[in-house]
A and B are shown apart, each in its own frame.
Chain A
């Protein structure tokens, strides 16, 4: 096969630039294979994060030709002809070359009020299949953080990181809010402190998700509708009053860090 030119961002917090590497391309290779061969030949100091090479660990997330993608799941022969641009995820501070500091996400994970089940009944908890299936989709998340990377709320507005959880954590909040055994009510929290209202449904998170989780349709919009139930819908409010349906609010609940 013909040679390919890889334009790779080299640098750290003090600055950087593209460096071109022209290298032979072998049949069936993915971008990560080529990066590894560049490490083995031209640039042994090229930093990149990777682990499973099977699209299941999320470590090798980067931006290929300007779009967030997993390097291990992007086939070279499916990219358009010409140089292939590889840059680190733009939303997070750079450490070196293709490696970024994603600790923003770990801080957000710690803020999620944990699952709060009722006391264990005699015979144990019972879950039905339809309830299990609903949250299963969100459990597919491999935490590559590409949805966080592509979300313009923090990608283009650094200041919003202070009050915005991001799509990856909205699916966590949605999963807990849809759990039949969970007793917390996180609707005020996602509205007031986690910045759900900042999301303007542009669906980029769904577009880049390597696990094809319908983040916007199945998590963010249902969360927004739950917030409408709680704050903007007098009919729903009246219904709750008449039927005396109230959940335990997260203000009352024991807020624990996620495991």
Chain B
């Protein structure tokens, strides 16, 4: 592709000023990567453990409840416990049903622009913090495989919307308590908050903002898309907060359902 020849000559490799040290920053720049590594590592360890458990993910009619862990919904294996299944099931699947579905929410978060920033900094040290030296000799960014696959983010976003719809259905279904009729329990509130946070996280996504209106050249020619874009822009500014809140809460939701399903906790009915 034609680019105009630059008349300004740039000499690469000129001597840099300042001492040859990784950083001259005096503040606690390392704190943010430490927090990121701690929280993400804890989440990965817990979610891996929970996904392989293959039990205590559903609270059913036996205790007049209909609560399912977000790690196991939709439950697509024929081995899913009674009441947790949806219409379709994989017959030959013998492993945990969570392993069938977690690739989609995992892929959505892994390719998310905010999480990319966080784990490139915290895990890959590329760079660990602003104005702190990159720890790698060479750098090709997201121009080659596998990191060029980050461009698939919008497909995981689409899949995420399907999951959000199903988890919203789960939250609504939790209000119907078998044998007791309609009721509100701590569990229904937990599932509802989880669904709201996941929707907020998805709708605040940069790909969503682009697809809803950011991709157009002329807002004035697309007033409806402009309106969507304008609505999503303040939400997009909170994407980091929503990413953390939804990540932590989805794990807490699984913890709650697991404790109730194992009998360690009673799901108290409020009214």
Interface residues of A (CB under 8 A from B): 9, 11-18, 63, 65-68, 80, 82, 85, 87-94, 97-98, 100-101, 103-104, 106-108, 110-111, 113, 128, 130-131, 134, 150, 152-153, 155-162, 177-180, 182, 188-189, 192-193, 195, 197-204, 207-208, 216-217, 221-222, 224-229, 231-233, 250-251, 255-257
Q: B219 near A152 (CB under 8 angstroms)? A: no
- CA distance in complex: A111, B138 (Å): 25
Closest partner residue, chain B, to A7 (CB atom): B24
Please name all residues of chain A whose beta carbon is closer than 8 Å to the beta carbon of B9 when the two chains form the complex. Answer: 103, 107
Q: A203 near B117 (CB under 8 angstroms)? A: yes
Taking the closest CB of chain B, its distance from the CB of A120, in whole angstroms, is 17
When A93-B11, A232-B152 are in contact, do A130 and B121 touch as well, CB less than 8 Å? no
Please name all residues of chain A whose beta carbon is closer than 8 Å to the beta carbon of B116 when the two chains form the complex. Answer: 200-201
Asked if B130 lies at the interface with its beta carbon under 8 angstroms from chain A, I say yes
Please provide the chain B residues from 185 to 208 with a CB less than 8 Å away from any CB of chain A in the complex: 206-207
Q: How large is the interface on B (under 10, 10 to 19, 20 to 34, 35 or more residues)?
A: 35 or more
Q: A193 near B1 (CB under 8 angstroms)? A: yes
Interface residues of B (CB under 8 A from A): 1-4, 6-19, 23-27, 113, 116-117, 120-121, 126-127, 130-131, 133-134, 138-143, 147-148, 151-154, 206-207, 210, 214-215, 217-221, 226, 236-237
Q: B26 near A80 (CB under 8 angstroms)? A: yes
User: Can you show 23 pairs from A to B with CB atoms below 8 A apart?
Assistant: A9-B18, A18-B19, A65-B24, A66-B25, A67-B25, A93-B14, A108-B6, A110-B6, A130-B220, A152-B134, A153-B141, A177-B217, A179-B217, A180-B218, A180-B221, A200-B120, A202-B120, A202-B126, A204-B127, A221-B113, A222-B214, A225-B154, A231-B151
Please name all residues of chain A whose beta carbon is closer than 8 Å to the beta carbon of B11 when the two chains form the complex. Answer: 93
Please name all residues of chain A whose beta carbon is closer than 8 Å to the beta carbon of B15 when the two chains form the complex. Answer: 12-15, 93-94
Ordered nearest first, which 10 A-B pairs have the shortest CB separation?
A: A93-B14, A66-B24, A94-B17, A180-B218, A128-B220, A88-B17, A66-B25, A198-B141, A204-B130, A197-B143
Q: How many A-B residue pairs have CB under 8 A?
A: 204
Please name all residues of chain A whose beta carbon is closer than 8 Å to the beta carbon of B19 when the two chains form the complex. Answer: 9, 17-18, 87
- CA distance in complex: A195, B3 (Å): 14
- CA distance in complex: A124, B19 (Å): 55
Please name all residues of chain A whose beta carbon is closer than 8 Å to the beta carbon of B16 when the two chains form the complex. Answer: 90-94
Q: A67 near B131 (CB under 8 angstroms)? A: yes
Please name all residues of chain B whose beta carbon is closer than 8 Å to the beta carbon of A224 when the two chains form the complex. Answer: 151
- CA distance in complex: A226, B214 (Å): 9
Taking the closest CB of chain B, its distance from the CB of A33, in whole angstroms, is 21
- Tell me which of B23, B148, B226 contacts A197 (CB under 8 A): B148
Please name all residues of chain B whose beta carbon is closer than 8 Å to the beta carbon of A227 when the two chains form the complex. Answer: 151
Taking the closest CB of chain B, its distance from the CB of A6, in whole angstroms, is 13
Taking the closest CB of chain A, its distance from the CB of B163, in whole angstroms, is 19
Please name all residues of chain B whose beta carbon is closer than 8 Å to the beta carbon of A228 when the two chains form the complex. Answer: 151, 153-154
